[in-house]
Amino acid sequence: MLININGKPEEVEIKLNLVELILAKGLSVERVVIEHNLRIVPKEEWIDTRLQENDKVEIVSFVGGG
Amino acid sequence: MLININGKPEEVEIKLNLVELILAKGLSVERVVIEHNLRIVPKEEWIDTRLQENDKVEIVSFVGGG
Amino acid sequence: MLININGKPEEVEIKLNLVELILAKGLSVERVVIEHNLRIVPKEEWIDTRLQENDKVEIVSFVGGG
Amino acid sequence: MLININGKPEEVEIKLNLVELILAKGLSVERVVIEHNLRIVPKEEWIDTRLQENDKVEIVSFVGGG
Amino acid sequence: MEDFLEIAGKKIGNRLFIGTGKFSSYAIMKRALEVAKAEVATVALRRVDASLKAENIMDYIPQECKVMINTSGARDADEAVRIARLAKAGQAGNWIKIEVIRDNKYLLPDNIETLKAVEVLAKEGFVVFPYMSPDLSIARRMADAGASAIMPLGSPIGSNRGIKTREFIEIMVNEINLPIIVDAGLGKPSEACECMEIGCAAVLVNTAIAVSEDPVKMAKAFSQAVYAGRLAYLSGIPTAGKFASASSPLTGFLREDKPQGDGLASDSQSHKKS
Amino acid sequence: MEDFLEIAGKKIGNRLFIGTGKFSSYAIMKRALEVAKAEVATVALRRVDASLKAENIMDYIPQECKVMINTSGARDADEAVRIARLAKAGQAGNWIKIEVIRDNKYLLPDNIETLKAVEVLAKEGFVVFPYMSPDLSIARRMADAGASAIMPLGSPIGSNRGIKTREFIEIMVNEINLPIIVDAGLGKPSEACECMEIGCAAVLVNTAIAVSEDPVKMAKAFSQAVYAGRLAYLSGIPTAGKFASASSPLTGFLREDKPQGDGLASDSQSHKKS
Amino acid sequence: MEDFLEIAGKKIGNRLFIGTGKFSSYAIMKRALEVAKAEVATVALRRVDASLKAENIMDYIPQECKVMINTSGARDADEAVRIARLAKAGQAGNWIKIEVIRDNKYLLPDNIETLKAVEVLAKEGFVVFPYMSPDLSIARRMADAGASAIMPLGSPIGSNRGIKTREFIEIMVNEINLPIIVDAGLGKPSEACECMEIGCAAVLVNTAIAVSEDPVKMAKAFSQAVYAGRLAYLSGIPTAGKFASASSPLTGFLREDKPQGDGLASDSQSHKKS
Amino acid sequence: MEDFLEIAGKKIGNRLFIGTGKFSSYAIMKRALEVAKAEVATVALRRVDASLKAENIMDYIPQECKVMINTSGARDADEAVRIARLAKAGQAGNWIKIEVIRDNKYLLPDNIETLKAVEVLAKEGFVVFPYMSPDLSIARRMADAGASAIMPLGSPIGSNRGIKTREFIEIMVNEINLPIIVDAGLGKPSEACECMEIGCAAVLVNTAIAVSEDPVKMAKAFSQAVYAGRLAYLSGIPTAGKFASASSPLTGFLREDKPQGDGLASDSQSHKKS
């Protein structure tokens, strides 16, 4: 299933939920924020949020900046 | 008849036209521009433009400025 | 006897020594330095230094300065 | 005969006078000034001024400067 | 030398624009414009005041001098537009310096209302010169909206403080493809000259000329200085260096060679830090 | 306008003095002097170098331009005196810029040796122009010793850094009863203009003209700027203020009166600090 | 001394805000924040990059240090709003530095889009700090729109050029009833100190600390300088004068009286211009 | 951090030297010295005035604070030498700031007489600190004559005008192998900080502290600022650049890719000059 993550197309397993997505990418659940189809998803909803073909996902985190 | 000239109420003769107004005020027709009730009046229409009670008239001219 | 103290003529008792001069002027022996006829006089010599007519004495001390 | 010209030793003919020196060096008489053994030599004396062994000669002229 | 600033088809040779306010008389103002050979002069528009002098300022502007009406007094875009239209009706042409000010103390322009006025007036065919606080981003929008030139301020109007916005004016000169004309605050010819050296297309000066002891001479001084700065810009200004660089030759010195260790080099060496 | 700088009986109209070093050719230098209408030019003296061009620089100095020989290369008073005497013997006249430098990096003058040379040369009848680090106390001694003018530096020779000594040059202008001529470091016409505005009698420029891309045009630019600065000085420069001061009239605005509490005044009030 | 800057209920003692970008490691950044005793630090938000270090910057911000998220990367108001909301969802709190930039070369902010973002975010309850080009008129609108402080730039981000906008920042300090925090361009502690002396409420520094040879020591230097400037502002800074004013007493000099006409007074007199 | 300025065997940690003139009382002066933790303070010497306060200033100088006597009032080298010898006889130690002034208006030092006094006093074993107009050449002679440090002025005494001689002080810092201590004219902590950033060894401040509204707080402010400037100097100050340099990362932006020709790059392109 093809979805768009951080501006790039990516092939993922069908019906992946957001927690699974983060773990699959080797990221830490604690330090990222997810926007799913332009809607920010609260962490408690991640497990119930399943991805669909062509979904747009943004995964962001904090970095040094001035 | 009371009209408003340059922001101040002023008593003028009834049915005065704009040329008469300018001359009555001792001004030079050549160097002023008239706005009558927020509409700029071309000089050729002045003679046919008669003032009504409560009209607003702006008479402006050029001065030194930076 | 007339001597010159700090640039001004002043009448003092004959044969005054420097300690007596300082005390007579109500000054503190500890905080002043004396130059007698252009020679700086060490404190231990004050008592033996007697003034003569027309001597020049400078009595200086420290003050705030930048 | 060895003389010193402008800080450098130079071999010249014996009893050369200053006019001859300048011409020998391909210089223009008009545009140079000569100091001979630290004395400035007026142009009219050049022809009578004969160089001796070890003389010091400075030949200078004007150049652009700020 | 052919060097013109061309705006809306007019070729302008003299890059000193002069404001006509504050002169002690129109006659002196006229003389200043003439002596400076000004080609652009700003004029304001006001309600007539019957008690004031009957002279018409337009009679004192030399023929060859283009008039630019400012919208001084306007506190928002609507008022500026209204003034511009009245000026045009008054045969003053369509060159408008847009000046929208809500601040009474520093007379700093309102960039947002100014931009709105640019949008309206440029569409109506006016040749618009927005007077603004230096701001690259809004200047770009002014350009997109149809401004014919940008007039950033050097310092507050009439303050004579010079070009306190230099860094940002330089950026505008480099980035905006319109003439940059420094307006307001220039107090001395050297400051006007400096504006031209950094590549401004022109400067507008009023107070420093009008209130000097000899306005006619001062107008000439500014005019010469602006020309000098323009010439320098066109001549290629060498950059400044940290160290000195001799202007006279470094060889051929008339001096006795001194034994080593005794001369200048070692001397100064001994004072250098290790 | 009659405005001359008079030194040793010579009336000088153009207050830009030009140094002749570093030009790519004497022909270009000549053209620069001509176009700038220079009335004083500095020249150096060096040991002849047979390998160099046979041209005589004196042939390239316009007739009406006074030559001033500098003592560049001198490291002490004796060497400066020697150069001055040679220059005079070479028919270069008796105007001497005394330049004594022991510092190779910043080319800063040695005020004490310079003062000694002034004492000797003034007595011998030379018209001496000491080049010096700005120092009021030593400038006073230069005056007492017979200097005809004082030439403080603006910044290191050839650095093009401008007038970094401004405060002290202003003090010298106010306190010394001799012409103050800023020499060295001026990199742009605006800086030369500024020197004149603060009351300097003249400036001497070399590097900034000679090494620009177009030395002839740049010479003209400096000349115009110096003239502009002088004019401004004579016209009475208004002082700078902290606040703005409108250049257009503050009455007669074309605007509707707004109900109180709704207008600008209260608006801006609400942002002012209590 | 009790001297706090209070914003949105938080009392801030240290008026040096530190940006966390460009440090060679988070460990060094942490040490700099600690040594400077920073109480506010800015942080950015970016798409995760799996290839990068797994460290969480938030673990390196000291507990007592308030985090302010910047919207760097935003090119318009919508993007800034989006970043602010994501930051809040990421538990980074609601302090947002609004930074909207469309200019890649000078990184100058877009004041108009920034103002739009202020309007939206202030209504949503964010504590907003707009980063802007100094402009009094737009700063007033920022205040009306609910900004908690105004962050005018000193010079372009990371340029280390100092406070090139000084005149306009002083005007903002005087006219806007919000804390003025100079952000961007400060390259040296003396410049940060100067900002505080003219009455700014705080400064934000990043590049000058992060890229110095010893960022920890430099953070301390800036912190001390900001404190010094604040103290000076509170102590009443004497104004500068034109002339000298002796710091040692002017009486009681130890000197022989000299006959008139021979002393200093007449000496210096003789050099004064008539 | 171990960072001492060592002069004549004394290790000085606090590089702010404080002058004791002009304070409203010795008690306030003492408090200022204490709060600033001053380690060097200057004091003057005058003829006693029986009518004045009987307090001894020496009782108000903290124990750990080294006293340096200035020769204020001296108009030539002889008078300065006389004052120095009297000070020594008065148990004030042998640290002498040589100050020789003949100019009453700007209080500018006489470098030549000062140099003579340095020669005499250094031979007599005094630790001498000549106060001078910035002049590299004479400073070198001061060093050769045995000065322990050089004290160039920033601007006229008590003028609070700051460091108007910056270029020349930087040159002295680079070229003279002695501590350079800026004395006179510093009006604000930021200026003292700047002196330290360019490598000065210390600064001496009097008027700006003594005449501020709160001298004790101001003394602390200067002390902190001097320390900050020294820290910055030791940390390696990054140089200023012409352009901006982002402090937040330039990758990982949260934004939709826009079709080419529509984005920022081309936008800004369209405004760039061809």
Q: Which of E177, E273, E274 sits opposite H273 (nearest CB)?
A: E177
Q: What pLDDT, on a 0 to 100 scale, did the predictor assign at position E253?
A: 83
For H242-268, what is the mean pLDDT? 61
Q: Give Cβ neighbours of residue F239 (< 8 Å, ≥ 6 apart).
A: E160
Q: Give Cβ neighbours of residue B66 (< 8 Å, ≥ 6 apart).
A: E19, E20, E21, E22, E42, E44, E70, E72, E157, E158, E184, E204, E206, E207, F246, F247, F248
H97 is catalytic: yes
Q: What pLDDT, on a 0 to 100 scale, did the predictor assign at position G238?
A: 79
Give contacts of G108 with chain H, Cβ < 8 Å: 244
Q: Is the pLDDT of residue F255 over 80?
A: no
pLDDT tens for A3-33 read 999 999 999 888 899 999 999 888 888 889 9
What mean pLDDT is reported for chain F? Answer: 89
- Chain F to chain G, count of Cβ pairs less than 8 Å apart? 30
CA distance H157 to G245: 6
Q: pTM for the full model? A: 0.90
Strands (E), E89-155: 95-98, 127-132, 151-152
Q: List the end-to-end C-alpha distance of chain C, in Å, as a whole number.
A: 38
Contact between chains at E141 and G171 (C-beta distance less than 8 A): no
Express as a percent the part of chain F with pLDDT over 70.
91
Q: What pLDDT, on a 0 to 100 scale, did the predictor assign at position E106?
A: 86
Express as a percent the part of chain H with pLDDT over 90.
74
Residues forming a β-bridge with H96: H69, H128
- φ, ψ of residue F171 in degrees (nearest 5): -65, -45
Q: What pLDDT, on a 0 to 100 scale, did the predictor assign at position H236?
A: 87
Contact between chains at A66 and H256 (C-beta distance less than 8 A): no
Contact between chains at A63 and H254 (C-beta distance less than 8 A): no
Q: What pLDDT, on a 0 to 100 scale, did the predictor assign at position F51?
A: 65
Q: Please report all neighbours of G, defined by 3+ CB atom pairs within 8 A.
A: A, C, E, F, H
pLDDT tens for G52-65 read 656 889 999 999 99
Bridge pairing between strands H151-152 and F181-183: unpaired
pLDDT tens for C27-57 read 888 889 999 999 999 999 999 999 999 999 9
pLDDT tens for H178-224 read 999 999 889 999 999 999 999 999 999 999 999 999 999 999 999 99
Q: Which of F176, F268, F272 sits opposite G271 (nearest CB)?
A: F176
Q: What pLDDT, on a 0 to 100 scale, did the predictor assign at position F262?
A: 36
Q: What pLDDT, on a 0 to 100 scale, did the predictor assign at position F32?
A: 97
Buried b / exposed e across C30-39, counting CB within 10 Å, b at 16+?
ebbbbbbeee
pLDDT tens for H117-135 read 999 999 999 999 999 999 9
Assign G257 a pLDDT band (cuts: 50, 70, 90): low
Q: At H45, which helix (H) or strand (E)?
A: strand H40-47
Which one of E1, E235, E251 would you mutate to disrupt binding with F, by most F Cβ within 10 Å of its Cβ?
Answer: E235
Residues forming a β-bridge with C17: C50
Tokens of F111: 């005020």
pLDDT tens for G108-119 read 999 999 999 999
10-residue block means of pLDDT along chain E (274 residues)?
Answer: 90 97 95 97 91 80 95 95 95 95 88 97 98 96 97 87 90 95 94 96 96 95 97 88 79 66 34 36
> Quick one: closest CA in H to C38, which residue?
H82
Least confident segment among F72-86, F155-169, G7-21, G93-107: F155-169
Give contacts of G57 with chain A, Cβ < 8 Å: 62-64
Q: What pLDDT, on a 0 to 100 scale, did the predictor assign at position E254?
A: 79
Q: Is the pLDDT of residue H263 over 80?
A: no
For B26-48, what is the mean pLDDT? 92
Q: What pLDDT, on a 0 to 100 scale, did the predictor assign at position C15?
A: 84
pLDDT tens for A33-53 read 999 999 999 999 999 999 999
What is the DSSP code (8-state) at residue A44?
Answer: G
Distances (CA, A) of H133 to F130, F132, H155: 18, 13, 9
Q: What pLDDT, on a 0 to 100 scale, did the predictor assign at position F269?
A: 32
What mean pLDDT is reported for chain G? Answer: 89
Distances (CA, A) of F33 to F37, F69, F97: 6, 16, 19
Whether the Cβ atoms of residue E221 and residue F228 lie closer than 8 Å to each other: yes
Q: What pLDDT, on a 0 to 100 scale, did the predictor assign at position E55?
A: 83
Touch between chain E and chain F: 3 or more Cβ pairs under 8 Å: yes
Q: What pLDDT, on a 0 to 100 scale, did the predictor assign at position H178?
A: 97
What is the DSSP code (8-state) at residue E25?
Answer: -
Express as a percent the part of chain G with pLDDT over 90.
74
pLDDT tens for G63-81 read 999 999 999 999 999 999 9
ipTM for the predicted complex comes to 0.89
Which one of E43, E48, E78, E209 would you mutate to disrupt binding with B, by most B Cβ within 10 Å of its Cβ?
Answer: E48
> Quick one: closest CA in B to E41, which residue?
B66
pLDDT top residue among E116 and H238: E116
Tokens of G69: 């998220």
Q: Which of H30, H97, H116, H220 is catalytic?
A: H97
Q: What pLDDT, on a 0 to 100 scale, did the predictor assign at position H39?
A: 97
Q: What pLDDT, on a 0 to 100 scale, did the predictor assign at position H253?
A: 83
Distances (CA, A) of G160 to D34, E76, F257, G132, H244: 57, 37, 48, 17, 9
Q: Is the dihedral of CA E171, E173, E178, E181 positive or negative?
A: positive
